[in-house]
Chain A
């Protein structure tokens, strides 16, 4: 075997090394900030007011988080429009809708199957996003540093995350499209870290005699259902059966690239007051619905409309043998 014959192999090794070095240099500080944001999100108690903006609309909410050795509790109250309240204990989210006197209950099937972004997996995001540190800016009285996640393709959105330099607390999150245009934004207008009591995260509504809609989600194999082609970078992270509203069981498959996620819902078409077929979108969320025989497939995701539609069109059913 001659030395020339090995040249291509050497070139490949060299290219891989150069690429790896570049990937590391561009993002090590930025990845460290991402991990700090992650830690702050899990460990801090806080109370604040944030504004959610998309298009010309904006909505103000209050968020309170209480960290306790017995598990943390988080409460969100929407302050504009119709009152709505969400309370999350360890792995149960309760959504209170006082006008219709309904409590919707979402349970994580278990912490194991929850597709959380773990600190040790933050580095893996660099496969799909170029992650660099951004500018410093002052938000709600906190000196913040930005971390910018630019997608490496047009299948996902980009993000600009602004975190308090001292605590790592996320003060502002902007979702941007391929052209860098803002699609939606969460910004704290006021935030106090610490000083939260258990009383502050208690649900405001007793909800006695309200209708309870429990998702009762449990892991399941949706035999026969799959994607004819997965969206590059998006992998299946959850497969379960659940209830939705008071309708018959619905299948749910979740695909994620580690940060963005897309859910595929599959249900008998006659099961509910159906959503019309076709596309819709608000902020960074898009929905696409279509029929496969007598089943309705609804895809929901925080991804560009084309990505959501592509996943919806790839859903297929093959009778299990």
Chain B
């Protein structure tokens, strides 16, 4: 997370993945602290004078005094709707069992393509090779966890039991 916040501070994070991180940094916690620390480091490196300690509070109170802008809000799910998800997430977390012995005997020499995020997506590579029937097990296993089933029922499953492709 720290790496990503550093990228965000430096303006190197893609806009699409920045939103979630900004939301995190807006709440008190490790992300918010990291955000402040990186800015402080940046200011120190640039030789900027530190802001007064209550700078953020004063800005917040000035904004609070601004006239209210009457505009439709973003479509946000109600807190009630999220609550069961949070409970589910915590229950699921309890159910998790570590599976430590599952990995290569030695660590791969280097993480392949650590900079994947900044690589532009090439034009869709023409998949000239049809999916072989040996992959059916993978397709079936994947299909069971596709949210698409919520809109379409079992129909998409026919893709995972194809007899020939």
Contact = CB atoms under 8 A, between A and B. Distances in A.
Nearest to A215: B141
Contacts of B64: none
Contacts of B81: 118, 120-121
A140 B125 CA distance: 35
A115 B147 contact: yes
A302 B146 contact: yes
A120 B92 contact: no
Contacts of A310: 116, 119, 121
A52 B17 contact: no
B129 interface: yes
> Chain B binding site: helix, strand, loop or mixed by DSSP?
loop
A194 to B, nearest CB: 15
A155 to B, nearest CB: 6
B9 interface: no
Contacts of B105: 293-294
B108 A316 contact: yes
B108 A292 contact: yes
B69 interface: yes
A307 B162 contact: no
Contact of A280 (B75, B78, B135): B135
Interface residues of B, number: 83
B81 to A, nearest CB: 4
13 contacts: A13-B69, A50-B155, A52-B158, A57-B165, A74-B154, A75-B154, A78-B161, A117-B148, A117-B151, A121-B77, A224-B100, A229-B117, A300-B141
A265 to B, nearest CB: 6
Interface of B: 14, 16-17, 19, 58-59, 62-63, 66, 69, 71-78, 81, 88, 91-92, 95-100, 102-108, 111-117, 119, 121-127, 129-132, 134-135, 137-142, 144-159, 161-165
A286 B142 CA distance: 11
A118 to B, nearest CB: 8
Interface of A: 1, 6, 9-10, 13-14, 16-18, 20-21, 23-24, 31, 34, 37-38, 41-42, 50, 52, 57, 59, 61, 63, 65, 74-76, 78, 81-82, 84, 86, 88, 93, 95, 97, 104, 106, 108, 110, 112-118, 120-121, 123-124, 126-127, 152-155, 161, 170, 173, 177-178, 184, 186, 215, 218-225, 228-230, 232-233, 237-239, 241-242, 244-245, 249-252, 254, 256, 258-261, 263, 265-266, 273, 275-276, 278-283, 285-287, 292-295, 298, 300-302, 304-307, 309-310, 313-314, 316-320
